[in-house]
């Protein structure tokens, strides 16, 4: 019945151990999350992948609205001249942007479609919207009464990436970008930190993905930012994933775009701004945090389906009874609340064997699979498989008991995934106190997060990056930083920072 | 206190009668829905406008999911060569599309940013996604078991329009586009009609905007469609607005993109496809259906705020009592269900006079305004203004009574707006039975919808368009069409069709 288990094979080949990057691609394929598109560097997000994104959006959007942010929509295109205003953004984004130069296609002599009417000024497809939003803020903000201004947009953006990987780095991606303006540096800083906390809570509570909160070094900051706050997660190959960033932009953008307001003492002042975003990259993080060699594993709070019911019918005459039992079960499950919503249930009536059906949902990461055959109908039972347990650990449960405990069981699975990821990170995070050990860790071992002292010198950062392809992921936010001695220079170090290879 | 009423002026100038197109722009400005952006032909949708769009999205998305459609996301860019495959789409969209030709900006000698690295093949920004989705469908669909395939995407699209008007016609707009594939012509036709009904119900039930359902003539069809179903609404200047379309594409796109499946009898067949969409244009329709010379009027079911509470404080010592009364009122209102959601309430504590506050919400179209001053607190009362009534018709109500009836009152307002729009359309829809009357109607009167017999000849259509700028909006869907004689040719006509000027 289950050929996979008989052969002791995994559903995904290669395994994580055999070839992690290829395993990642195969997980996406097996769960039917997305596919590479015929457009260079872009992906098509398929229904299962998009449903996960919608779940993420709903939670984040609610949180952002609850903290006073309003959604807006700015144009996709940005006049090239806007990039000239913010010198740092130019170096950051001009190198990798899609440029619109014409507004018509015409047939050439060979009958091919080629660009027709040239535009007076080129536009770029937004790589991020600070510049065009800055222009608007300069008009919208006149007085201190117009502040704070807190807006957010859900949008597609484009950065012409050379090496792409689905969800993690694609030329086009979907995200939310928040942009705010404030009267004082302190208020803007507080806002940037508030969102930083919100992102971290979302990662921990919903994605079950532990993150380290910290500041980026000057080298790794967003172009034009005074401070970039980041949440960094460890993937199962022990590389770091930057999962979300929140930027305190000081008055840099306000000066570039002339965002001024009349203060309480009738003096004109530049506003202080922030920007922050998370993207479909989070789906990549979700995949790489929890999935195993049998496919995707979804934390229940973000799963598009919580329970899939699999009717197992060996004979035609059993059909009506089994399907009726499944319908009633689905109905009863849908009355139950989980995470302030109703439990989402699907019944898989496809004409496949029980094993084929079950494994297709294993690969899609659905938290609970419930098999229902003749025996279950007779015994008022259900045969339950939980995605984070071994396939063979399926158990028979009384139907009423299953209904009474399913919400708790979903909670338990959510917590267990979080704990497992925390344990994994802990296991692969080391204090490193000498340069030799540091080089050894990133050369001769499987690596992970190295917590080491660093004196703040960007030249050391550059050297490490060049030697080992390792960067400082963040300077962790700590209540009482412990000073020490830089392991590269012997100079004083204010606190340990996190070094890792990264996506 | 209310300077507007004292001078017998309207809040919006010019009025509808004085200058309808300018009135429309002023409504958008006064309600702060959107603004023209520095990007040619594009608009920025501001929080109030975007919140209306989000409400529309939520309703439509729920309806589409309930009918088995799954959301996906396809790339923004389409290789120019894809347009070559569908000849009709080329003529339709190649003339007005944004073309991406480079992937980098560089500084020229004068220090300006100009396009850098040219791409091997140009891309266009999607004007609609039939072509790129067609390519995917050809890979996804192999067998009859893969059908029907029902997907939808919420996306931005771009058509390089020459004359633009906010919401109604902009170069970039937001929409949903559904794309489906089926095994038989009949199934695809049924799907196209199902969505057509869904759109019409949404317009009537949520937008309170009556629509005429019908088919487009061959001239007015979507490029490549066998049939285009349309919903047409009458605006207050008696012009028609095409509010949504659903296309039965037959096998045209399937043949162009090689979408084939193995049928039940193991014969390879081309699939039948549909596509359909509604866009932010609906917001333009909403504005022009209900708004008056004092500003926007929102049907309660789509209003971002149902009730705004306006504390009126003349003396500082009243402040605490009045604000506490308002908070309690807001709290109680938020416990009440309306249209399966909680009532949405805002308290306006800005430091403005009562009149200024009230009029700002009149202009934003909020269904109910509740003024609370010292008198209301003492009498356990509220002073209520309803947006579809005259400003002076505000009434004092007992607080408990107001709470007990608000959901019904919202329903009543929703219905009244619908009825008022139906009456308006009826008043301006005429049976016209001679060519002379027809030309007179569209030349010497205020015009409207003309229901007239037409023989199906596209040359007549072209002549009328040229002479009067009037088009056939649709051939209405009717159970028992009444035949007659074409008023232009005296030939036989199967039924009356709707002629009108349009947006």
What are the tokens at B239? 């012009």
Q: Which of B349, B376, B409 is the last residue of a domain?
A: B409
Helix (H) or strand (E) holding B247: strand B240-248
Question: Residue B466 falls within a domain, yes or no?
Answer: yes
Which DSSP string do the residues of A271-332 spell out, in sequence order? -EEEEEEEETHHHHHHHHHH-BTTB----GGG-S-SEEEEE--SSGGGHHHHHHHHHHHHHH
Question: Residue B8 falls within a domain, yes or no?
Answer: no
What tens-digit pLDDT sequence spans chain A (503 residues)? 444 555 568 999 999 999 999 999 999 999 999 999 999 899 999 999 999 999 999 999 999 999 999 999 999 999 999 988 766 666 678 889 999 999 999 989 988 899 999 999 999 999 999 999 999 999 999 999 999 999 999 999 999 988 899 999 999 999 999 999 999 999 999 999 999 999 999 999 999 999 999 999 999 999 889 999 999 999 999 999 999 999 999 999 999 999 999 987 889 999 999 999 999 999 999 999 999 999 999 999 999 999 999 999 988 899 999 999 999 999 999 999 999 999 999 999 998 998 999 999 999 999 999 999 999 999 999 999 999 999 999 999 999 999 999 999 999 999 999 999 999 999 999 999 999 999 999 999 999 999 999 999 999 999 999 999 999 999 999 989 999 999 999 999 999 999 999 99
CA neighbor of B10 nearest in space, from B26, B34, B33? B26
Closest chain A residue to the Cα of B58, Cα to Cα? A58
The residue written with tokens 């098999």 in the block is: A371
**How many CB atoms are located within 10 Å of the residue B34 CB?**
24
Question: Residue B4 falls within a domain, yes or no?
Answer: no
- Same structural domain, A249 and A333: no
Task: Choose among A46, A78, A114: nearest Cβ to B122.
Answer: A114
Measured between alpha carbons, how far is A305 from B369 in angstroms, rounded to an integer? 42
Q: Which of A223, A255, A290 is the last residue of a domain?
A: A290
Preceding amide of A418 cis, omega within 30: no
Q: Do B105 and A94 touch (CB under 8 A)?
A: yes
- Same structural domain, B393 and B454: no
Range of the domain at B455: 429-500
- Same structural domain, A190 and A314: no
E strands in A170-271: 172-182, 212-215, 227-234, 240-248, 260-262, 268-270
CA neighbor of A390 nearest in space, from A110, A75, A4? A4
Count structural domains, chain A. 3
Check which CATH number belongs to the domain holding B178 and give it.
3.30.930.10
Burial class (CB in 10 A: 0-12, 13-18, 19+), A85: middle
Check which CATH number belongs to the domain holding B366 and give it.
3.40.50.800
- Same structural domain, B44 and B153: yes
Pairing of strands A172-182, A149-158: antiparallel
Q: Do A172 and B42 touch (CB under 8 A)?
A: no
Check if the beta carbon of residue A229 is closer than 8 Å to that of residue A215: yes
- Same structural domain, A110 and A214: yes
The residue written with tokens 């109030």 in the block is: B48
Would the pLDDT of B350 be above 80?
yes
Pairing of strands B272-279, B172-182: antiparallel
Burial profile A278-292: b = 16 or more Cβ within 10 angstroms, e = fewer? bbbbbbbbbbbbbbb
Question: Residue A226 falls within a domain, yes or no?
Answer: yes
Measured between alpha carbons, how far is B459 from B457 in angstroms, rounded to an integer? 5
Burial class (CB in 10 A: 0-12, 13-18, 19+), B249: buried
Question: Residue A13 falls within a domain, yes or no?
Answer: no
Q: Do A95 and B102 touch (CB under 8 A)?
A: no
Task: Choose among A79, A155, A174: nearest Cβ to B39.
Answer: A79
Question: Residue B192 falls within a domain, yes or no?
Answer: yes
Measured between alpha carbons, how far is B396 from B392 in angstroms, rounded to an integer? 12
- Same structural domain, B62 and B163: yes
- Same structural domain, B286 and B309: no
- Same structural domain, A328 and A451: no
Distance of CA A495 to the CA centre of its chain: 28
- Same structural domain, B326 and B456: no
Preceding amide of A254 cis, omega within 30: no
E strands in B57-117: 70-71, 77-79, 99-102, 105-107, 113-115
Which DSSP string do the residues of B45-69 spell out, in sequence order? EPHHHHHHHHHHHHHHHHHHHHTT-
Taking the model in full, what pTM does it have? 0.96
- Same structural domain, A453 and A391: no
- Same structural domain, B224 and B335: no
Closest chain B residue to the Cα of A61, Cα to Cα? B54
Check which CATH number belongs to the domain holding A447 and give it.
3.30.110.30
- Same structural domain, B362 and B401: yes
Residue of B47, B54, B68, B113 to mutate, testing the A interface (most A Cβ within 10 Å of its Cβ): B113
Task: Choose among B44, B103, B123: nearest Cβ to A39.
Answer: B123
Q: Please give the angle made by the CA atoms of A425, A360 and A367, to the nearest 5 degrees.
A: 45
Q: Do A98 and B77 touch (CB under 8 A)?
A: yes
Percent of chain B at pLDDT exceeding 90: 90
Q: Which three-class secondary structure state does DSSP give residue A495?
A: coil
* pLDDT, tens only, A395-433: 999 999 999 999 999 999 999 999 999 999 999 999 999
Q: Which of A290, A309, A341 is the last residue of a domain?
A: A290
**How many CB atoms are located within 10 Å of the residue A474 CB?**
25
Question: Residue A261 falls within a domain, yes or no?
Answer: yes
* Alpha-carbon separation of residue A478 from A106, A403, A423 (angstroms): 60, 43, 20
Q: Is A457 left (phi over 0), alpha (psi -120 to 50) or beta?
A: beta
Question: Residue B296 falls within a domain, yes or no?
Answer: no
């Amino acid at each position: 019945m289950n050929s996979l288990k008989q052969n002791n094979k995994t559903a995904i080949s290669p395994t994580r151990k055999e070839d992690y990057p290829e395993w990642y691609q195969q997980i996406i394929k097996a769960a039917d999350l997305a596919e590479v598109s015929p457009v260079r560097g872009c992906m098509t997000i398929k229904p299962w992948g998009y449903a996960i994104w919608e779940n993420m959006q709903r939670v984040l959007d609610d949180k952002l609205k609850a903290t006073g942010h309003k959604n807006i929509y700015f144009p996709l295109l940005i006049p090239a001249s806007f990039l000239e205003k913010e010198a740092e953004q130019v170096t950051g984004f001009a190198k990798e942007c899609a440029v619109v130069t014409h507004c018509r296609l015409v047939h050439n002599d060979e009958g091919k479609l080629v660009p027709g009417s040239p535009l007076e000024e080129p536009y770029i497809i937004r790589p991020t919207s600070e510049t065009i939003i800055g222009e608007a803020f300069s008009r919208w903000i006149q007085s201190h009464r117009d502040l704070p201004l807190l807006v957010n947009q859900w949008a597609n953006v484009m950065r012409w990436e050379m090496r792409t990987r689905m969800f993690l780095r694609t030329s086009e991606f979907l995200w939310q970008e928040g942009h705010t303006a404030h009267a004082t540096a302190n208020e803007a800083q507080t806002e940037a930190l508030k969102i930083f906390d919100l992102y971290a809570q979302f990662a921990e509570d919903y994605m079950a993905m532990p993150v380290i909160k910290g500041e980026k070094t000057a080298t790794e900051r967003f172009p034009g930012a005074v401070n970039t706050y980041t949440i960094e997660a460890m993937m199962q190959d022990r590389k770091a994933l930057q999962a979300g960033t929140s930027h305190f932009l000081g008055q840099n953008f306000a000066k570039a775009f002339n965002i001024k307001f009349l203060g309480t003492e009738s003096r004109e002042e530049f506003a202080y701004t922030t920007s922050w975003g998370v993207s479909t990259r989070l789906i990549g993080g979700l995949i790489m945090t929890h999935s195993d060699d049998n496919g995707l594993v979804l934390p229940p709070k973000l799963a598009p389906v919580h329970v899939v019911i699999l009717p197992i019918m060996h004979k035609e005459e059993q059909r009506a009874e089994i399907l009726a039992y499944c319908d009633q079960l689905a109905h009863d499950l849908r009355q139950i609340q989980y995470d302030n919503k109703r439990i989402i249930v699907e019944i898989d009536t496809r004409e496949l064997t029980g094993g084929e059906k079950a494994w297709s949902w294993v690969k899609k990461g659905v938290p609970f699979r419930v098999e229902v055959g003749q025996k279950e109908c007779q015994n008022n039972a259900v045969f339950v498989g939980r995605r984070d347990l071994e396939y063979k650990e399926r158990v028979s449960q009384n139907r009423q008991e299953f209904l009474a405990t399913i919400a708790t069981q979903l909670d338990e699975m959510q917590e267990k995934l979080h704990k497992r990821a925390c344990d994994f990170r802990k296991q692969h995070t080391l204090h490193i106190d000498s340069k030799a050990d540091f080089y050894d860790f990133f050369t001769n071992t499987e690596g992970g997060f190295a917590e080491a002292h660093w004196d703040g010198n960007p030249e050391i950062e550059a050297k490490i990056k060049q030697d080992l392809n390792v960067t400082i992921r963040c300077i962790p936010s700590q209540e009482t930083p412990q000073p020490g001695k830089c392991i590269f220079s012997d100079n004083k170090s204010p606190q340990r920072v996190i070094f890792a290879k990264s996506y």
